[in-house]
Amino acid sequence: MNKRSLSRIEKPKASENMIRLAKRTDGDRYIATAKIIDVDGEKILLLNFFQRSELVKEKTGAAFRTFISRSDYITQDLSSARVKWKTGSFKSILGWYWWNTKEKGHDVTFASDSDFISAKYYMKAYFEGEDPNVWDAIWKFQDEVLDRRLKAKHKKETDKIDKKMEMVPEKPEGFEKWVHEIAMGDKRYLVYEAASKKKMTTGYCTYCKRTVRIDVKSVQPRNKKRGNCPNCGSPVTFIPKGYFPTYQRDSKWVCLMQKVSTVIVSRYFHVHQEIQRDYNYKESFSISELCRAFLEEDNVEIKIDSYEWGIYKQHGLPRWCPDQNHKNCASAVVYTENLPEVFKGTFYRYCALDLYQKKLACDPVPVWRFMNTYPRYTYLEMFLKAGLVNLTGEIVEGHAYELDLNGKTPETILGISKKYISILREIDGGTAELRLLKQCESDNILPQGEDIRGFCERFGGNDELIGVINAHMSIRKFNKYMDKQRTVLPKHKEVPCHAAWCSPESYSKKERMREGYRNLAKDWLDYISWSATLKYDIKDMYVLLPPDFGKAHDRVMKEYQAFKDEQERKRQEELEKLIKKALDAAEGIPAMMMKARGLMIILPKSGSEIKEEGRTLHHCVGTYVERVAKGETMILFIRKETAPDVPYFTLEYRDGKVIQCRGKKNCGMTKDVKAFVKAFERKMKEESEAENSVKGRRAG
């Protein structure tokens, strides 16, 4: 429909009959007229809508009008002076529609029978049932138009996606074999008959599908222990037959990268493997491609368009759709056979992603984090070639807090010299090991790589602990000492914590072992600190590493506590002396003994009285004792004259004014207390002025 031609049609005016109809009815919001007109040689149904509330006021202008052709519709808003069009259907424009009665309503009535007949004749192709409804027919027609518009809109998007997907080449020959052999290489099992007292037992390898004999003494099979199949030599996980589930299900994401012109496409496949115990360990294997990401270089910036296989816009049929983050393929095992060819001529030609994956064997790599990180930190290639795989992983994951990521050389990036870098390379250390080596270099200690690794496995990257150790002994000696002490610790019945119930894997036996070592190290640091305070000779190895650490720790703890108690007692005595001196100086002030309105001021005699006042009235005045001792403030008690020994209100006086006055549980002052406090403040001011006047005269 031509909007210009439609807008030139004369705007409708309401007739006298329509105004009278509006005044007689009160159940409808709109009164409509309908007529079939000819526009540019096409028959069009014109519906004019007049608001009943405006007709009652004898305003004859229409609110809006709708033009309906055989294939489209459009609505003109007549409430605006300028031409304004709406594409919404009557469902959004007319609004309310009720279903509670047998007759359906739309808050609209036709102005006359001729209007109804015109609309009914034009929309007859959309009538249903014996009692056709004009508005239902119009709604059905508009729904068809909206659906057609939506399909056209979606087609523009899906055509672009389909065109992009047509560029993706076929999977390389041997890709599925690689998935089965390499990517899922850690998902092979040897199910064996448990036989603790036998020399030989039997098992079934799910990879070579053979029953094998196992030498128990040499192989020593254990549940979930890694080993090799005696028949095919393949790496397998040993599982006793009684522990093997009915359905052993394993899944993993794998990533295949391919070159399409100047674009790198990453294809993510979800691999699912299932082994059924009751069907002679029958294995089923499926590979489903669920995600695709297109990476394009634009100067220095990297543009990524990602898609997933799913339901597009609730249409019901699966296809490639824009990424909705429904699939978690952040980490995947990367197919490395074609990477040199894929990255050739691109910014990633030296990124060493293939080396990263080969170092991790069949463990997943955070592919897109790596691809996003590499343009900023191109030295990842250098770290990978140096064997620093763990450190590379921490940089990619954003956990490398010990590095100067803007450095240019390995020494400036890592913050350690070459001989310490060689130790880090030897143990393939991460951030924790790097922190320890930094501390060792600071202490001018050159440790062995295995000692650093062992320390980190036990205590993490605790540079404070290793700094104390370096001052007195070798790291190896400390590791051995802690191993010995941990074996003699009393064993308690383990009660799993909340974290263990939520995530049992994160609270494994290995993690509990680390927690035990770290708690022991904390106790040792406390022990050394207490010993130094008590003037023990911590250079003496017998003191530094007592044969029975538990007993030595408890003994020194008691001595240290007694020492601290004695220090506190002396401090309190000194504090009381200072408080008494400050209070004695205030005794001569008349206002400090003021009585009025049944209330009185009482000067505390000691710091303990102030603390007792706070405990009785449940407020924090007890914490003001030291400030009183230093002369920074003054604490006074307000008591009733009838009960001078019962705490009532507590007052703080400082710098010539009352700072606060609190009662029980920090309650505010009553009217009589407030008046008493004002009188006290005024009297203190008068006495201060009088004293200053006397001093002035003496000086003159």
Phi and psi at residue 54, to the nearest 5°: -80, -35
- Compare 261 and 364 and report the one with higher pLDDT: 364
Region 205-226: what's the mean pLDDT?
91
Helix (H, G, I), strand (E, B) or coil at 651: strand
Between CA 192 and CA 197, with CA 195 as vertex, the angle to 5 degrees is 155
Could you give the dihedral angle defined by the CA atoms of residues 559, 561, 562 and 566, in that order, rounded to the nearest 10 degrees? 140
Task: Please report the pLDDT score of residue 491 as a whole number.
Answer: 54
Q: Are 614 and 621 contacting, i.e. CB atoms less than 8 angstroms apart?
A: yes
- Sequential DSSP letters for 90-139: HHHHT---B-SSSS-B-SEEESSHHHHHHHHHHTGGG--SSS--HHHHHH
Task: Please report the pLDDT score of residue 85 as a whole number.
Answer: 92
Reference 327, options 270, 380, 275, 276; nearest CA is: 270
Q: What is the pLDDT of residues 272-281, one digit of tens each?
A: 999 999 888 9
- Starting at the edge strand found earlier in the chain, the sheet holding 657-662 runs 595-596, 599-602, 634-640, 649-654, 657-662
Reference 459, options 493, 488, 436; nearest CA is: 436
Q: What is the pLDDT of residues 363-395, one digit of tens each?
A: 999 998 998 888 888 889 999 999 999 999 999
Reference 446, options 418, 465, 414; nearest CA is: 418
User: What is the spatial distance between Cα 47 and Cα 122, in angstroms, rounded to a whole number?
Assistant: 11
Burial of 473 (0-12, 13-18, 19+ CB in 10 A): middle
Q: Which neighbouring-strand residues pair with 692? A: none
User: What is the spatial distance between Cα 582 and Cα 576, in angstroms, rounded to a whole number?
Assistant: 10
Helix (H, G, I), strand (E, B) or coil at 168: coil
Reference 594, options 637, 635, 630; nearest CA is: 637
Reference 60, options 46, 78, 76; nearest CA is: 78
Of the listed ranges 39-53, 503-517, 641-655, 666-680, the one predicted with least confidence: 503-517
Task: Please report the pLDDT score of residue 488 as a whole number.
Answer: 66
Q: What is the DSSP letter of 79?
A: T
User: Which residue pairs from 179-183 have beta carbons closer than 8 angstroms and sit at least 24 positions apart in sequence?
Assistant: 179/254, 179/269, 179/271, 179/287, 180/285, 182/333, 182/362, 183/252, 183/254, 183/271, 183/333, 183/335, 183/362
Mark out the alpha helices in 64-131 (DSSP H runs).
90-93, 113-122
Q: Are 507 and 523 contacting, i.e. CB atoms less than 8 angstroms apart?
A: no
- 257's tokens: 């990268």
Could you give the dihedral angle defined by the CA atoms of residues 169, 173, 179 and 180, in that order, rounded to the nearest 10 degrees? 150
> In percent, how much of the chain has pLDDT > 70?
92
What is the value of pTM for the model shown?
A: 0.70
- Cα 657 off chain centre by: 51
Task: Please report the pLDDT score of residue 299 as a whole number.
Answer: 62
User: What is the spatial distance between Cα 700 and Cα 692, in angstroms, rounded to a whole number?
Assistant: 12
Task: Please report the pLDDT score of residue 499 as a whole number.
Answer: 44
Of the listed ranges 302-306, 412-416, 550-554, the one predicted with least confidence: 302-306
Region 92-110: what's the mean pLDDT?
60
β 210-215/282-298 pair status = unpaired
- Sequential DSSP letters for 288-316: EEEEEEEEEEETTEEEEEEEEEEESTT-S
Inform me whether the pLDDT recorded for 316 exceeds 60. Answer: yes
Q: What is the DSSP letter of 58?
A: T
Helix (H, G, I), strand (E, B) or coil at 505: helix
β 318-322/301-311 pair status = antiparallel
User: What is the spatial distance between Cα 672 and Cα 664, in angstroms, rounded to a whole number?
Assistant: 16
Q: What is the pLDDT of residues 479-490, one digit of tens each?
A: 999 999 887 655
Reference 322, options 154, 168, 147; nearest CA is: 154
Reference 380, options 453, 304, 397, 345; nearest CA is: 397
User: What is the spatial distance between Cα 559 and Cα 631, in angstroms, rounded to a whole number?
Assistant: 35
Average pLDDT, the chain: 87
Region 287-316: what's the mean pLDDT?
85
Q: What is the pLDDT of residues 169-179, one digit of tens each?
A: 999 999 999 99
Reference 46, options 103, 117, 118, 105; nearest CA is: 118
- Beta carbons within 10 angstroms of residue 119's beta carbon: 24
Q: What is the pLDDT of residues 129-154, one digit of tens each?
A: 766 788 888 889 999 999 898 888 89
Q: Residue 37 half-sphere exposure, CB side, CA atoms within 13 Å?
A: 16
Region 284-305: what's the mean pLDDT?
85
Sign of CA dihedral 427, 433, 437, 440: negative
Task: Please report the pLDDT score of residue 494 as a whole number.
Answer: 46
The pLDDT confidence band at residue 693, using thresholds 50, 70 and 90, is low
The pLDDT confidence band at residue 127, using thresholds 50, 70 and 90, is confident
Inform me whether the pLDDT recorded for 75 exceeds 80. Answer: yes
